[in-house]
Each structure stands twice: as C-alpha cells, then as structure tokens.
Chain A
Amino acid sequence: MSNATTKIAVHSLADLKNTTDDAVPNYMHSLKFRQIHTTTDVRLALGYTAVAISGALFYFDWKMGWDVTKPYTLPAVVAYFILNSLFSYWLWWVEAGAIYEGEGKTGKIRIATSTKKHIPIYEVDVTFTPAPASSNPPQTIHIRTPFTRWFTSDGYFVAKPFQQWLASEVPIVGAADPSNVVEEIGRGSETDKVLNATGANAMNILEQLKTAGKPSGGSSRRRKA
C-alpha cells in the first residue's frame, strides 16, 4: 500500500494508476466497507494449482528420469494448460481489472479500473448495489477523470480530492461518506478554484495543504487542476 509520502514519477502511467488503485481499499476500509477477496482468491488458487502440477512434474522428472515419468507427462501437461487457460480467462474476463470488491452499510460495490495507453486518465467502472440488495438492482457506471486531480505536479498522491471525486460520483460511497460529497457547479476551467474558496471546504483544504504540502511549499500552489 502506498501512502501520501511516496513520491512517484508523474509521467509514468503505471505509477499513477497503481498508486491510485492502492488508495481505493484504504479509503473504502476507512468507510467501514469490508473487502471481499473471493475473485482474487479463485485466481490465485487456479494459478498456484497449475504451478504445483508443473513443480511436481519437474521434481519427479529430475529425481526419476524420463522413462519413469513418461506416462504421467501427458496428463500433467494437459491439466496444466487447462488450468492456465482458466487462469487467463478469470484474469481477463471475470476479474477484468477489478481492484476492489466490498460490502458496507450502504451497499455492495465492485470497482474496476483501467487506463488507455499513454493517456493519463483514470477510467473506472463501478458496479454497485445500494442496500438493501433485495429491493435494488445492481447498477454500473463508468466514470473517468485525469490523474492530475489528485497528484501534485511533483508526484505526491493527495487523498482528499480523490476521495471527494469518488464520493461525489458513486452514490453508495457518497452515502457512506457525505462529508466528501462536493457539488460540481460548472464554471468551466475555474471550477476548482471556486470550489477551493467555498466556506464548506476551507477547513478541509487547509488541512490538505498542511499534510500534502509537507515536501515543499510550492506543490500546493501549483496544484490547481
């Protein structure tokens, strides 16, 4: 897990995405969401079973030689590649970029993230079921925003704007964390400046500057996107 003190290279899309991905479970945990690991565990089980088969074959081949292991080699190879295909299927079609799955008082949520090659925009697919699950159908929304929203120009992740963005865009996160819901009032490129100046946010922003601005005073001034 990375925290606000880890500095990343702002031009590395992988760094931007991974750092942001790591911030999601932290944030959700702070909202008393319980993370559900089932899909990850299934993938790990498939993968490690395949590796175990291959490891066993390697060991017996090494100890006893080809003549002894020959009859077992074909079944082992077939089983390995079946498991390996299932693993890939699970990774690409079932998990499909999911970085968080969890459940809280306000509902269930699954968050999958991606980026397009060389474009520093965080693409997020959120599937959520507001509580109570019995009376609400699951909904899927796609939200996207530039990473500049929560990274300072010198590469520090700032949690507050990220949490505000998530809470404002995803209803069940907003319901769990009303203090982070901010309204977009739509005044073009100056929106953020105006938001920064509103009374409701002032204390938050100040705190934000105190904590995030630690490494250098300049960063806070430049963070206007």
Chain B
Amino acid sequence: MAFRRHLPIMLFGCAAAVLPLALKDPYYLGILVFIGIFSIATMGLNLLMGYAGQISLGHAAFYALGAYATGILTAKYNVHFLPALAAAIIVTAGIAYVIGMACLRLKGHYLAVATLAAGEIVFICLNASVGFTGGPSGLAGIPSIEIGGFSFDSDFKFYYLVWAVFILLFILTANIINSRTGRALRCLHSSEVAAAAMGINVTTLKVQIFVLSAVYAALAGVLYGHSVTFISPQASDLMFSVKLLTMIVVGGMGHLWGGVLGAALLTLLPEALSAFHDYELIIYGSILLVIVMFLPGGLMRGFETLYVTILKKVRGRG
C-alpha cells in the first residue's frame, strides 16, 4: 500500500537521477536546480494554501530569512554548514511561530494582509540593517555547502543535493497528507467550525502547518543562497511571494505534483521568452488572473478532468 502510494515519486526520482547524465549543457542543469529549489518552496506553501486553505502573502520572507541565516553564519562567522542550517531552521521556525500565532487567528482577507505586512516588515528590516545583512546591495560570497568534508561545489553535485532534498520532503509531505493530520487539514479547509466540532484544535493545527511550510521555504532559501552564492533583500519582496503563489495556482492548489509542475513551467517560461523581463509583471498577473478565473483547480486538475472526459467518451463509444 505504502509502496504503491510512493511509486510515482520513486519513478520520478529514478528519472531525476539519470537526467543529468543525458544533459551535456550546464545551463540546463542550472535551470533544473532552480526548479528543484522552487518546488521545495511551493510544496510547503501548497500544504498551507491548498490543503489547509490558509493564504500567505509573506512566504518570501521565510525564504530570504533562511538564505540570510546560513549565508551570514557561513560567510561571516565561518560556522560549518550543518550547525548553520540548524540555526537557520530554528530562527525561521521561531519567527514563523510568532507571526503564525499572531496572524492565524485571522481569516481570509485579514490573514492575507497580515502575512503581507509581516513579510514587508522583514523586507524593510533586511534592507535597513546594513551592517548585518549588507543592506540593499545584498550579501555576497556565500560559500558552497560542505557536509562532512564533501563540498557541493559544482552544479552537477548541487543538482543531486537539491533533488534528493526534494524527494525526501515530498515523501514526508505525502505521508502528512495521508495521515490523520492531513485529513484534519482538509477538514479545516472546508469548514473551520465543522473541524472544531470534530475535536480538531484549529488554531494549533494552523500554526503547526504554517511553521512547517515556513521551514520548507527556509530550506529552499538556504539551497538558493548557497547555489548562487549571493542573496539580496529582493528575495523577500512581495513579488517573490506572488511568484510562489502563481506557481501553485498554475499547477493546482491542493495537488502535490501541481506545485512541481507550476514551478517548472514558471521557471522555464522566462528562459523561453527572451523579451520576458519587460513583460514579467504583466505575464505573471495575467497568468494568475486567467487561471483563477477559468481553471481554479489549476493545470493538474484540468488534466484530470480532461482525462476523465476522454475516458468516458472512449468507453461510451465502445
């Protein structure tokens, strides 16, 4: 049973393992690394938005906090990577806990604005504390990740690290979704009152899932910071939160593979369109608007519906 449930991700893992051997161009390898990083971040946000039904417009803040935490510790204080990673996770989880305790008592619109404001405050602080974070010009010279003497210093090695982390987190997330907690989350999504009546501690559950999704974002941020060796406050701005949101909406809210699909599409899109940069905002806005208005389930659900309709037609004829 458990084996069948994890079959797709295992096949996906095998494919991911052989893919770099077929790719000669390091350029594509770099793109695949970014897709992996964004997939990790969207997975957490999807858990929060798609399954628990809570919106967050401040997730870029956690992404940036993770990147800054390990970046500052390893680049400025020569701390080893693993302790720095632990510190980054603890710091981000702590901040997310405080923000979550505060914001998640709110619902709908209020929650969206509160998380947006919290994210904006992090952005302002990262910009203003120049001595610590390097201010608007960013933090440069982040070393590559080193674990037990092994250094992930090439795109090739980094690729395997990112996708290994992704697959581990995917299995973890899939297990959460199929557990008692996952059912409680979906119940929360449909009705908070009903969830509370069934004996679910609504606030605790919301805060827990918020912190977990913030940690996912922080992990993605850590990987990002060490792969490009540079991080600037830009990574924590509203636009990046919106990008993560767009990836999930495009792929499919409440569909684990949807986040991956969205991350892949929206990372490949700018590479495919050379004039993308000037139209970036309009394209993101339009995609978001069109998908939400005409295909609220995202592409994954769209494919599923299409598949079912075709299946019915074929059977009906036969």
A joins B in a complex: no
B residues near A, CB below 8 A? none
Which residues of A does B touch, CB under 8 Å? none
